[in-house]
Amino acid sequence: MNILLTGGTGLIGTRLSAVLAEAGHHVAHVSRTLAPGSSCRTFQWDPAAGTIDPAAVPFAEAVVNLAGANVGEGQWTTARKQELLASRVDGLALLHRELAKPGHRVRTVVSASAIGLYGTTGDALVTEDTPPVGHDLLADLTQAWEQAAAPLAALGLRVVVPRIGVVLSLAGGALPALAGPVQRGFGAPLGSGQQWLSWIHMDDLCRLLLAMLTDDAWQGAYNAVAPSPATNTTFTTALAEVLHCPLLLPKIPAFMLQLAMGEQSELVLTGKRVSAAKVLAQGFAFEFPGLREALQALYPPAPQPAPSGGCRKRAVMNSRRQCFKLPYPDRCRTSDTLF
């Protein structure tokens, strides 16, 4: 298929573009700027001004909408909150306007959402039918995101809405931010440590989005998370074990994080225990259903030289020193993330 991708240069979009191309699809990006040297054809748009290259939608048979400013960047000022909202709803309004016109070939739209929609749910296992709880920023933002995508279905299109969890990738997002302190010897559970983290390996997410694009059986909202959510303590402990780094510090108190991060502390102090049952019932098979195997795939053990002269003490010391080094300095690390 010819697939039009918004947000194609972000964390997920970059990897998804490669996966779609490997599967034989033709991918074009929609962006506010033309990236020099990009391997993908790029159409320009300006959602705030309501303008888009008139050749963009006629190119496509399917659209993947990942556009949305990073909630983890910048202080949550009133202006920033408005920017976060506009970056999600303005693009969808523009796509709806163009897709309402006759003459295009688009039949499928996959429009990203996030598990932040559910609000603060405690230990309850939430499904796609669980109503949102509370009105924090992430919940309100994500609900508005989905409401902006809803009118697309009235155009007769097949609309799929993946509610994406915390994406595990070395290229950016939450994982490098969590792993960095652990690797430097400052890792610790955050707050109570009992808040849930519903995650998905980047490769599984891209395979899931590919399935949503190519199989007409997928329609409506799905939780794009692995089937084994973990508490913050469980996640941090597993990450430390995979990195072979001890957790030396006690839990970081919630009030310290609130003082340091303000309202944004909800990104790390709240969580959702999200069910993957609907995705599994649809027949999707996760390559990385368990947390440890997902982390081990991302952080494979580095080869260690054999200790000389049987010096066990030196080998142990060398192993411990690895905890304070970044094992993959050549990997790209961006700040893009999607909650």
Q: What is the pLDDT of residue 332?
A: 34
pLDDT at position 301: 81
Question: Any residues with CB less than 8 A from the CB of 103 and at least 6 apart, and which?
Answer: 58
Q: Which residues contact 25 (CB under 8 A, 6 or more apart)?
A: 1, 2, 3
What is residue 322's predicted lDDT score, i.e. its pLDDT?
A: 45
Predicted pLDDT of residue 307: 56
What pTM, to 2 d.p., does this model score?
0.89
Q: Are strands 230-231 and 196-197 parallel, antiparallel or unpaired?
A: antiparallel
Predicted confidence (pLDDT) per residue in 105-137, tens digit: 999 999 999 999 999 888 999 999 999 887 889
CB atoms < 10 A from the CB of 100, how many? 12
β-pairing, 62-65 with 2-6?
parallel
Kindly give, in sequence order, each residue whose CB lies less than 8 Å from that of residue 206, ignoring residues fewer than 6 positions away: 12, 15, 16, 19
Q: Which helix (H) or strand (E) holds 179?
A: helix 174-183
Inform me whether the pLDDT recorded for 43 exceeds 80: yes
Query: Binning pLDDT at 50, 70 and 90, where does residue 54 land?
Result: very high
How confident is the model over 258-271, as pLDDT tens digits?
999 999 998 899 99
Q: What is the pLDDT of residue 39?
A: 82
Query: Stretch 135-154: mean pLDDT, rounded?
Result: 95
Question: Residue 149: phi, psi to the nearest 5?
Answer: -85, -25
**Would you say residue 156 has pLDDT above 80?**
yes
Q: Determine if residue 68 is left, alpha or beta; phi over 0 gives left, psi from -120 to 50 gives alpha, anything else beta.
A: left
Tens of pLDDT, residues 197-213: 999 999 999 999 999 99
